[in-house]
Amino acid sequence: MSTLDTSRLERVQEKAAILAEALPYIREFSGSIVVIKYGGHAMEDPALADLFAQDVVLMRLVGMNPVVVHGGGPEITAFMDRLSLPVEFVEGLRVSDEATVEVVKMVLVGKVNKDIVLLINRHGQPAIGLCGDDGLLFRAARQAAPSGQDIGFVGRIERVNVGVIEHIASDYIPVIASIGLGYDGQAYNINADTVAAEVAVALGAAKLILMTDVPGVMDRQQSVISVINRPDAREMLAGGAVSGGMIPKLEACMRALDGVPQAHVIDGRTPHSLLLELFTEGGIGTMVTQ
């Protein structure tokens, strides 16, 4: 009687092993909230964007509650140019006068947010877009640049109204634009990584995942650090072992650890990076733990 040929058998056994490896994670995270900061190439490259949407939908299918947070720098700048408004950055942060914030809000809420909502909808799970105004989701306070220089209506989050996200997430995938409302009624432009961290803490998420355009946090040998704990990460930040755009990302991870067991910096350029992070034993990128 015929049986499976050897090479097919090997492939089958590998499949079986991957599945047996994945199923306990699916169980573990079933019902859990995972907050994902979406951005970078994974947002700009249509093929990656499509795989991202597919992953978010699959997460929902197997019982998780993904919450997507996004910013949208390049689209804002492009629109500012069309309106001939000056674009200025201080210490990597957009200087935001009233006209700028109005444009930021229109582009993020009226364009970028809805594009993501549609992309997810198209893969078969309904998403709803939110910004800080909806149900008074975020309360923001003005925040200067790290150096202390005033940069206008740029804010930090003071309060997250979790009820709103939970209500939406009970039936829909929430997609949140990083716009907050000040107690003065003014809109504030807020960094999306820190929004994602604050949302994750407020929701008591199981994980925060920051999608970036790098493989993870690097050690001095430029190898990806697979797992790092909080004290070590704090030391890296203090000792200048991380630099550039990774600094705010790692700081966002540290903040998240106030209420979230695991924060991840993953490479959004890897297809299905979310699935790999969630459902394989080593995950990908860097995990920051307690």
Q: Which of residues 92-151 bind a second copy (CB under 8 A)?
A: 102, 105-111, 114, 117-118, 121-122, 126-131, 133-136
Total residues at the site for a second copy (CB under 8 A)? 76
Among positions 10, 78, 223, 258, the unique one binding a second copy when judged by CB under 8 A: 223
Q: Is 270 in the site for a second copy (CB under 8 A)?
A: yes
Scanning 194-202, 225-233, 254-262, 279-287 for contacts with a second copy by CB under 8 A, the matching segment is 279-287
Length of the chain: 290
Site map 4..23 versus a second copy, x via CB under 8 A: x----x--xxxxxxxxx-xx
Smallest distance, a second copy to C-beta of residue 63, A = 7
Torsion region of 63: left, alpha or beta (phi above 0 gives left; psi -120 to 50 gives alpha) = left
Q: Footprint of a second copy on residues 34-73 (CB under 8 A)?
A: 54-55, 58, 61-63
Smallest distance, a second copy to C-beta of residue 74, A = 16
Q: Footprint of a second copy on residues 173-212 (CB under 8 A)?
A: 181, 185, 187
Q: Footprint of a second copy on residues 72-91 (CB under 8 A)?
A: 82-83
Q: Footprint of a second copy on residues 226-265 (CB under 8 A)?
A: none
Among positions 24, 86, 92, 261, the unique one binding a second copy when judged by CB under 8 A: 24
Smallest distance, a second copy to C-beta of residue 234, A = 23
Among positions 10, 27, 146, 226, the unique one binding a second copy when judged by CB under 8 A: 27
Site map 157..176 versus a second copy, x via CB under 8 A: ------xx--xx-xxx----
Nearer to a second copy, 7 or 222 (CB): 222
Smallest distance, a second copy to C-beta of residue 290, A = 25
Give a three-class secondary structure readout of the chain. Answer: CCCCCHHHHHHHHHHHHHHHHHHHHHHHHCCCEEEEEECCHHHHCHHHHHHHHHHHHHHHHCCCEEEEEECCHHHHHHHHHHCCCCCCEECCEECECHHHHHHHHHHHHHHHHHHHHHHHHHCCCCEEEECCCHHHCEEEEECCCCCCCCCECEEEEEEECHHHHHHHHCCCEEEEECEEEECCCCEEECCHHHHHHHHHHHHCCCEEEEEECCCCCECCCCCECCEEEHHHHHHHHHCCCCCCCHHHHHHHHHHHCCCCCEEEEEECCCCCHHHHHHHCCCCCCEEEEC
